[in-house]
């Protein structure tokens, strides 16, 4: 029985009978074995307030405190009906993709879809080791393969060993054909949402050009202006400001509500789309963000607590216990992993 909904609705979760689930985020949805009674949970920008009768118990959440599925026992992305614990903090992990083939060749890449190099694969795997003890309930990536490869490879190192699954919603047939019919498999899966809004800045007529040759042709100052100014785009391309408008809007509408509802999220994306999000998280000025540099394959950790983002830097290594003692929640998560896996 749904009791109430707060603020603007951005998604719907339906629990259909015995573990059957339908999950939607904007235009993304997953259909999982509809049967029995139906329960709907409305997701809002500021949180969730919902309850139901029966064996499922009650979930309540708000911007300041959220009740969530224990991330070790059962992830909140694919809702299961195991013991629930209260938490008022969640983790946000940002990872810039590993080195791509065009990074290696010093070409402007932008929205051209090129894969990782061997070094990029290794960077993604190392990033996974660094976050292997941090909870991940949902993954968001860009629509570009280098970001998706980075996310998938990183998750191969996570100690929880859940499987990231890309959600295909491009057609009704794609949704139907990618439906999961095993309750146990659902519990051991993490949904991956690919969104073009998280794509790299579109470099227009510079895409595919060698960076050094472009500087020689147009002048170093002009190319530097295109690359590092906030509001000046290259020919037929995007400025950082234009990239930020789409990336931050997507983050506010689709990712932040997940954090508010108690889910821990990983975003694998690109230098400029992540700089844009960090500008929002850290409340940077346009002058501060243009000097922000992000290394490939290095995760950045934030804690979302009481409607605030607390920057924690990059985890050093999975064996560094101090890294995961930033908060009680992360320390407890790691302790549960240790108890479960040993």
Rounded-to-integer distance, Cα 329 and Cα 88, Å: 9
d(CA 45, CA 82): 26
Catalytic residue among 89, 99, 123, 200: 200
Element (H, E) at 44: strand 38-44
Q: What tokens does 221 get?
A: 């100052």
Look up 288 and say whether it is catalytic. Answer: no
Q: Pairing between strand 49-51 and 58-60? A: antiparallel
Under 8 Å between Cβ of 77 and 138: yes
User: Which of the residues 89, 97, 123, 256 is marked catalytic?
Assistant: 97
172 is annotated as an active-site residue: no
3-state secondary structure 66-124: EEEECCCCCCCCCCCCCCEEEECEEEEEEEECCCEHHHHCCECCCCCCCCECHHHHHHH
Asked whether the beta carbons of 254 and 141 are under 8 A apart, the reply is no
Residue of 97, 72, 106 whose CA lies nearest to 298? 97
The catalytic residues are 97, 200
């Amino acid at each position: 029985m749904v009791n109430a909904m707060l603020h603007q609705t951005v998604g719907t979760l339906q629990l259909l009978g015995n573990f059957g689930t339908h999950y939607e985020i904007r235009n993304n949805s997953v259909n999982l074995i509809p049967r029995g009674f139906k329960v709907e949970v409305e997701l809002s920008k500021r949180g969730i307030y919902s309850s139901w009768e029966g064996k499922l118990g009650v979930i309540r959440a708000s911007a300041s405190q959220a009740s969530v599925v224990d991330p070790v026992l059962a992830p909140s992305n694919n809702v299961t009906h195991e013991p629930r614990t209260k938490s008022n903090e969640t983790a946000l992990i940002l990872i810039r993709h590993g080195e791509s083939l065009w990074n290696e060749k010093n070409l402007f890449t932008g929205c051209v879809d090129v894969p990782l190099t061997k070094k990029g694969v290794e960077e993604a795997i190392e990033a996974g080791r660094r976050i292997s003890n941090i909870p991940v309930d949902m993954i968001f990536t860009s629509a570009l393969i280098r970001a998706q490869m980075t996310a998938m490879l990183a998750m191969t190192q996570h100690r929880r060993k859940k499987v990231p699954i890309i959600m295909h919603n491009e057609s009704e047939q794609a949704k139907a054909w990618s439906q999961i019919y095993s309750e146990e498999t659902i519990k051991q899966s993490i949904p991956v949402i690919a969104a073009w809004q998280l794509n790299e800045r579109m470099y227009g007529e510079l895409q595919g050009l060698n960076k050094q040759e472009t500087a020689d042709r147009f002048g170093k100052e002009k190319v530097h202006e295109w690359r590092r100014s906030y509001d000046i785009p290259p020919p037929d391309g995007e400025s950082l400001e234009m990239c930020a408008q789409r990336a931050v809007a997507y983050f506010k509408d689709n990712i932040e509500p997940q954090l508010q509802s108690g889910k821990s999220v990983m975003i694998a994306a690109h230098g400029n789309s992540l700089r844009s999000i960090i500008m929002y998280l850290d409340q940077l000025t346009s002058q501060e963000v243009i000097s922000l540099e992000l290394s490939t394959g290095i995760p950045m950790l934030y804690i979302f607590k009481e409607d605030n983002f607390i920057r924690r830097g990059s985890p050093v290594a999975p064996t560094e216990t101090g890294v995961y003692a930033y908060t009680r929640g992360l320390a407890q998560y790691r302790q549960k992993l240790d108890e479960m896996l040993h």
